[in-house]
Structure 1
Amino acid sequence: MIRLLNMDIYCEYILHNKPPIIFIHGFVSSVYTFRRIIPLLSKHFSIIAIDLPGFGRSVKSISFIYTYENYGKLIAACIEHFQLEKAFLVGHSMGGQIALNTTKIVPERIDKLVLLSSSGYLDKAKRWQRYCSYLPFCEIAVNYVLNKKSVPDNLKNVFYDHSLISEDLIEEFGRPLKEKNFNKSMMRLLRYREGDLTSEQLKSIDKSILLIWGREDNVVPFHIGMKLKEDLPNSELIAYDKTGHLITEERAEAVSEQIFTFFRDS
């Protein structure tokens, strides 16, 4: 654990005399998302991967204001904690939006970004959703929605190749759902989520960005990647056929090679 913004944050890191990458996972996920690509990239880069507040093994805070901006400030605090002059960012799904927010907050500390199946263009929580988050029954409703489908069914939605779904994956992705205060933290995320960056905001980000997508992504469809490519002025887009949302599992070696090549050429 490390201490960031007065919270206990689970962190895995491999530090040596090589350029650092900070990995940022997505919604209802953890550093486990990157388990297959970190070993491949750790030969060439220092590695820092954290579980965001509310997820994985990090604190399920019932006081943290769960916004992308505050998550971005947390990543900025992580950069300070490890005394990094600059860092590369790799964000998956919601983690892509957090990486972009971090870049807006501390642009001088960010080198390049890789966005894997990044969320994009989602509106902020509706007024009635924010209002309902204060009502006593909301936690029950959140629990119902999160557990409406079984963990294997949810994993089928993020994989194109269902044969890759293992017992280890089911156990790891199911574990946080049972933790104390998980529902409360998700309720607060619903309450405070301010929405994804707009096209205008994206166009102001001049960092080199690599977008990597699965063409069969059922969570963040490929057309979102194409729109991000249009709005991010210094970006390129790579897509893989027969690949779903959890691209770090289905295309680990190819994704690692793309990240290595992109960051190596800095």
Structure 2
Amino acid sequence: MTTVNDLSRTERTVRVGRRDIFVTEAGSGPAVVLLHGGGAGATGASNYARNIDALAQHFRVIVPDMPGYGRSTKEIDQEDPFGDLAAAVGGLLDELDIEKGHLVGNSYGGAAALRLAMDRPDKVDRLILMGPGGIGTTRALPTKGLNALLDYYRGEGPSREKLASFIRDYLVFDGAAVPDELIELRYQASIQPEVVANPPLRRPSGRSALRTLWRMDLTRDPRLAQVRAKTLVVWGQDDKVNRPSGARLLAATLPTCDVYLAADTGHWVQWERAELFNELATAYLS
């Protein structure tokens, strides 16, 4: 079923393999898929609230809730999460009859986009990656911000206070700029019973934990150096979740990679520096 809201966006659910993917769309033109991060309570429309309308002036903007989040099916293969997410995004493009699209990914979504460029290069035109996950993650201890993210459902479980602390202390440069309404929206999404019972982003555990960690470090995959999609990496210099040094690592590995480091910016570049990001993305994808 397709619905239309008052901002000329359409919303619908698309069946992709074993899962339902909830999708928001706006605009027309070349397809640009916006993939959100993996923070608790994240959704596509909320993560890209400051970008969808601006980009829709030039492109067909497709914003899914990733599997495990929002109104999509709460199921992810925890032994190969990035591969599973990439398969879901590729399948979504197939179902929407999109031969090839631009992919824009923040954090978790950036890792999914990069993995799709390795798994199905025919589906990917250009890439924009903002503080992507999976870049050198097995080469150093996790950051405090990543630990806070992975611990959200552990211990005493989720709480509004834990989520507010993660967002304001680690996700952005200026925590005071994050409104209470956004935190409440994310908190309510984070405590859906299905999500609490099966968190989509968690620390690998069990016998396969080492193998999972290895798979989630995309820099260990020799195919990374063979990615032909032209790539723009945008990273906040004050990112406390994924280290900005990952930008240099990608620039040294990807065949065609431009890097933009944003000053006084944390992990959520597209939200904190929306005007800058929208201009960069429009120019690069045009």
Fold-level match, TM-score > 0.5? yes
1:90-239 mapped onto 2 (5 Å cutoff): 90-119=104-133, 120-123=135-138, 142=154, 144=156, 146-147=158-159, 150-156=162-168, 157-186=170-199, 190-191=203-204, 193=212, 194-199=215-220, 200-239=222-261
Once the two structures are superposed, residues 112-142 of structure 1 have per-residue CA deviations (whole angstroms, 9 ceiling, x without a partner) of 0000111112249xxxxxxxxxxxxxx9973
Cα distance in 2 for partners of 1:232, 1:186 equals: 32
Answering whether residue 35 of structure 2 is matched by residue 24 of structure 1, we say yes
The answer (yes or no) to whether the contact 1:143–1:183 under 8 Å persists in 2 is no
Match of residue 130 from structure 1: none
Indicate the residue corresponding to 1:75 in structure 2: 89
For 1:105, the aligned partner's letter is: D
Residue aligned with 2:102, SS: strand
- List alignment gaps of at least 5 residues for structure 1: 125-138
Please give the alpha-carbon distance, in whole angstroms, between the structure 2 residues aligned to 1:121 and 1:149: 30
Deviation of the 1:181 alpha carbon: 2.0
Contact 2:27 2:58 in 1 (8 A): no
Q: In the TM superposition, what whole-angstrom CA distance separates every residue of 1:50-100 from its partner, at most 9, and x where no partner exists?
A: 111111222223xx4242111111011111111012100000001111001
What TM-score do the two structures reach when normalised by structure 2? Answer: 0.80
Given that residues 160 and 242 in structure 1 are in contact (C-alpha distance below 8 angstroms), is that contact kept between their aligned partners in structure 2?
A: yes
Q: Which runs of 5+ in 2 are unaligned?
A: 1-12, 140-150
Q: How big is the shift at 1:149?
A: 5.3
Q: By how many angstroms is 1:174 displaced?
A: 1.0
Q: Is the 8 A contact 2:152 2:163 kept in 1?
A: no
TM-score, normalised relative to structure 1: 0.85
Asked if 1:254 is matched to 2:279, the reply is: no
| Aligned equivalent of 1:129 | none
Q: How far off is 1:101 after superposition?
A: 1.0
Check whether the contact 2:153–2:196 (CA below 8 A) recurs between aligned residues.
no
Figure out how many residues of one structure are paired with residues of the other and give that number: 247
* Structure 1 position 11, deviation (Å): 0.9
Cα distance in 1, alignment partners of residues 242 and 70 from structure 2:
21
| Matched position secondary structure for 2:285 | helix
TM-superposed deviation, 1:171: 1.4
Root-mean-square deviation over aligned CA pairs:
2.3
For 1:188 and 1:208, locate their aligned partners in 2 and report how far apart those are by CA, in whole Å. Answer: 28
Identical-pair percentage: 23
